[in-house]
């Protein structure tokens, strides 16, 4: 039945991640990464001395109201401030209690009843309870809610994608949310949804203080108030975000750190220099070429995430000549992925041929990848009416991401690949928030981007990135195939994993033929830290809680 099915999904993904770990994943496991919250409460000890962790990254957060944005640099921070009804284990997508200590799922999969923790306070001193849960889901789902802030640009695109739309939409899966008492809340669904409880664990759906919206209004993006282990202190744009320990956190003895400073250092090499000099404690976006240096330095340690991502080039299929599938297939044949991986990923990545990573439910291993074949690319371009090629803009990310450790060099390599088949690619880059905003608006020709899974379910990749219903939103190619749309909606509602996997495989076959992307890589992201950092576990979602981390 439903709970049994969800456990099966979790088991599949957990198994995949364990297998990935056997290939060289994180070696810095905590003393007991699988322990649940109660067990951690029993064993937690007070940290010794000053406990300020400086975490350096390539780009700034876009917003600290993560429900209204999609970038990982935002969730990296909000993960420390906010909490969700259910949480994931530190190293997998296995669901465990969060702000709800338990839950029941009806046999027909149409009712989820959550039992909330009592005595939990938001950082502003107000109570966490059923009213707070309902408030947050209503402000995300209801465009007429006074705190939806649509006119201020809040769009909650992931909510719409994962829950079938918004209040009033035919596809919106939530029928109503019922408060049974102050600490019991029931979600009634219109139809079964296979990934419902996995979705609730995603960082997007963390619970914020209702009172904070009254105080800050749309400025909530810079004034986050949650129940989490750290309290927001200060944000200096494009420089630092400072969080401080929540002295009233509901998990006794946690967090261990007194303060976290998220520091922006855009250049990978400069970030690594700062780490080696002891100016920072952890850095994201380590150049793969620097891995041997880390491994040979006793003052440093290496962290690896599970390869839970896809890096891709997307075509704006509404713009000529990229509205022609033959052109898109030609460009797929023009890219030498093996050379890209050898040159920029230090062989830590594998070539991608599907939009979802291997190991996910429904991953289609039978898809035949577009081979690297410049002559075939030129032939297809000629057949499409472009024997002399054409010129286009290649939008390139300004920041390193888990799936793209050095976007500038990657763009230069791709530019050279395209030159060899008679195409002129002009590299264009913009500030990160602007890049995301304008690609969502469709201003690009061809763009570099990627996606990391946040809930362990294939729907998060396929529906968000390639469904016509995710326009505007995560679907920045504007690809809108009615048959694919129908399959992706159908898959959301199927509880049998084998049937669901078959539907996803069919969708991937069509997507492969239509070629709205050039799937590039599934990467094993690497991070580096000083040796005195203990209990840091990179989560597959790219955003991990730092509550167990301490410095020795």
Q: How far apart are CA 417 and CA 165, in angstroms?
A: 40
Residue carrying structure tokens 């070539």:
351
What is the pLDDT averaged over residues 38-43? Answer: 39
pLDDT band at 60 (very low <50, low <70, confident <90, very high): very high
Q: What is the pLDDT of residues 249-305, one digit of tens each?
A: 999 999 999 999 999 999 999 999 999 999 999 999 899 889 999 999 999 999 999
Is a pLDDT exceeding 60 seen at residue 37?
no
State phi, psi for 535 to the nearest 5 degrees. 70, 25
Residue 134 in tokens: 């309902």
In this prediction, residue 42 carries a pLDDT of 38
Residue 59 in tokens: 């780009």
Residue carrying structure tokens 């109660």:
38
pLDDT band at 473 (very low <50, low <70, confident <90, very high): confident
Enumerate the β-bridge partners of residue 530.
300
What is the pLDDT averaged over residues 42-60? Answer: 74
**pLDDT cut 90: percent of the chain above it:** 85
3-state secondary structure of 384: coil
Task: Give the pTM.
Answer: 0.84
Q: What is the pLDDT of residues 152-206, one digit of tens each?
A: 989 898 999 899 999 999 999 999 999 999 999 999 999 999 999 999 999 999 9
Question: Which residue, among 335, 368, 309, 308, has the nearest Cα to 446 in the 3D structure?
Answer: 335
In this prediction, residue 65 carries a pLDDT of 95
The distance between the two most distant Cα atoms of the chain, rounded to a whole number of Å, is 70
Please give the full DSSP string across 208-268, using - where no structure is assigned.
Answer: PPHHHHHHHGGGGGGS---SSSEEEEEEETTTEEEEEE-TT-SSTT----SEEEEEE--SH
The DSSP bridge pattern shows strands 240-245 and 309-315 to be unpaired
Cis peptide before 321 (omega within 30 of 0): yes
pLDDT band at 70 (very low <50, low <70, confident <90, very high): confident
Which are the contacts of 345, defined by CB distance < 8 A and separation ≥ 6? 288, 405, 521, 523
């Amino acid at each position: 039945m439903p709970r049994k099915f969800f456990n099966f999904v979790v088991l599949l993904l957990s198994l995949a991640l364990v297998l990935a770990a056997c290939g060289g994943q994180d070696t810095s496991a905590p003393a007991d990464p699988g322990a649940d919250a109660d067990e951690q409460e029993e064993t937690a000890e007070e940290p010794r001395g000053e406990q300020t962790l400086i975490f350096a990254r390539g780009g700034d957060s876009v917003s600290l109201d993560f429900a209204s944005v999609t970038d990982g640099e935002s969730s990296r921070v909000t993960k420390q401030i906010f909490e969700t009804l259910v949480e994931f284990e530190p190293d997998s997508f296995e669901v465990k209690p969060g702000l709800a200590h338990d839950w029941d799922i009806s046999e027909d999969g149409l009712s989820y009843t959550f039992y909330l923790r009592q005595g939990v306070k938001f950082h502003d001193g107000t109570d966490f309870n059923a009213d707070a849960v309902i408030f947050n889901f209503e402000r995300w789902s209801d465009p007429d809610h006074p705190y939806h802030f649509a006119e201020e640009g809040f769009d909650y695109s992931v909510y719409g994608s994962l829950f079938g739309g918004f209040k009033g939409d035919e596809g919106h899966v939530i029928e109503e949310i019922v408060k049974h008492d102050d600490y019991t809340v029931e979600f009634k669904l219109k139809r079964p949804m296979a990934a419902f409880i996995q979705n609730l664990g995603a960082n997007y759906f963390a619970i914020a203080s209702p009172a904070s919206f009254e105080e800050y209004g749309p400025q909530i993006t810079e004034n986050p108030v949650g129940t989490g282990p750290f309290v927001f202190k200060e944000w200096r744009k494009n420089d630092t975000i400072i969080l401080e320990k929540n002295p009233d956190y509901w998990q006794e003895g946690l967090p261990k750190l007194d303060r976290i400073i998220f520091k922006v250092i855009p250049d990978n090499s400069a970030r690594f220099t700062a780490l080696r000099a002891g100016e920072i404690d952890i850095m994201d976006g380590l150049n793969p070429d620097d891995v041997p240096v880390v491994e040979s330095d006793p003052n440093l340690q290496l962290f690896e995430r599970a390869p839970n991502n896809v890096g891709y080039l997307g075509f704006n299929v509404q713009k000529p000549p990229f509205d022609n599938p033959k052109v898109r297939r030609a460009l797929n044949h023009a890219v030498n992925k093996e050379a890209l991986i050898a040159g920029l990923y230090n062989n830590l990545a594998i070539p991608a041929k599907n939009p979802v990573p291997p190991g996910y439910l429904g991953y289609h291993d039978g898809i035949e990848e577009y081979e690297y074949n410049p002559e075939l690319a030129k032939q297809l371009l000629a057949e499409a009416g472009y024997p002399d090629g054409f010129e286009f803009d290649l939008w390139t990310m300004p920041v390193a991401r888990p799936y793209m450790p050095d976007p500038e060099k990657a763009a230069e390599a791709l530019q050279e690949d395209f030159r060899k088949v008679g195409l002129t690619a002009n590299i264009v880059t913009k500030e990160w928030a602007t890049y995301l905003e304008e690609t969502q608006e469709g201003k690009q020709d061809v763009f570099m981007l990627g996606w990391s899974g946040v809930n362990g379910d294939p729907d998060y990749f396929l529906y968000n990135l390639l469904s016509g219903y995710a326009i505007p939103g995560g679907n920045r190619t504007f690809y809108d195939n009615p048959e694919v749309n129908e399959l992706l909606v159908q898959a959301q509602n199927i509880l049998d994993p084998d049937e669901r996997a078959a539907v996803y495989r069919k969708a991937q076959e069509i997507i492969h033929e239509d070629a709205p992307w050039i799937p590039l890589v599934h990467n094993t992201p690497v991070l580096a830290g000083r040796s005195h950092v203990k209990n840091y576990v990179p989560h597959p979602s790219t955003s991990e809680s730092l509550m167990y981390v301490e410095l020795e």
